[in-house]
Structure 1
Amino acid sequence: MRINNESCNCLSPQIECENFGPFVAKNINCINFNESGEENDSGSIIPFSSGISTSVVTIGPDFGLTSSLIGFGTAINGVPILNNTINLSGLLSEAFSVPRNGNITAISAAFNYFLDLNRGGLTTITAQIYRAPVGSNIFTATNVRVDLAPPVAGVPAGITFGSANVEPVPVSVGDRLLMVFYISSIINPPALNFSVEGTASAGINIV
């Protein structure tokens, strides 16, 4: 119970605060229900953002296909993808752990690029969820993916975006999920090795 005006949302110091409670805690079993008492089955949105970090996606024989892992305000660049898998053994990670069983049903993503070295062609960037089971650092590509449009077309700066509903992809307690950005296709590449730099953001829905 409060005994003064401090931190009680009263705007005036001259008016006596009447927000003395009692304060009632929310029953955890009610959190996933709407005002009509029906279960909220629309799911939970998990947001991702590279923040102030620079997200770089690179392709070429010298580097192979390298990706950018997007977390919650940070990004890790230069992570190789081999045969649709990412091995993070001994490496930094942006993965998060799934707290309950559910299904991923949708994905949206955007890439705000400010440096495109493929000046003479078209580059498609894809955002995709990779998953590792409990106790593993080997992440495998899931069907939760979206190709961003329009393709990066050699202009100095721009935004490419994509959103898709997907067939439900089940996840289990303890699974770890990664949001991965990478180059999925190129038309008329200007050189053997090139990259696209910018900031990335995305979101998925888990029901």
Structure 2
Amino acid sequence: MLVQVRGIVEAIGKDWIRMDLNGWVIQAYVPPSVLARARIGEPITLHTAVVIRLEGHGLVFTLYGFADEDERELFEQLLAVSGVGPRAALALLSLSAPALRAAIAQEQVDVLRRVPGIGPKTARAIILHLKDRIGVGPTPGAPIPRAEDTEIIAALTALGYSVVEAQAALAHVPPDPNLPLEEKIRLALSYFARPAR
């Protein structure tokens, strides 16, 4: 079983990285935590999970990579929930593993269902199946995403931006509680209008 890989980053996409492993080039789908630290030409270590599915008359193997064992474990637990596929599990990890665990432990359906691809029914199923299985209660000091933040991410992804791009834009929005949601979305959109660096 392939549980960890180390290699040099060759290319970075919206939700994947391509790595050279001593002449073998692999592509892994990854959450934002990995994309944030991946740099082309630099080494990276991924904790991995292989998802196998039947497509047509053959099997398709897809590699997923994570920053640490905790992310991989949470990804695999999410896959055990009916209605949650690999892409939805990756989207949920955009909340960060500690924040996601805390949201499940505190039964915050509104936080989960604002993740792109997660509806109210799936959010409740995640809480029902994982609340007693994730192994920890709320992590002290772990930030719980504000409902407004997930609304901004949902609005940006609805416009075609990836979760990673939406999170980058959100990081440039002032956390002012008096700022209307519409203004925060406008400020997030202005992030994409900046000249490329």
State the TM-score bracket (shorter-chain normalisation). under 0.3
When normalised by structure 2's length, the TM-score is: 0.20
Larger Rg: 1
The structure with higher relative contact order (CA 8 Å, sep 6+) is 1
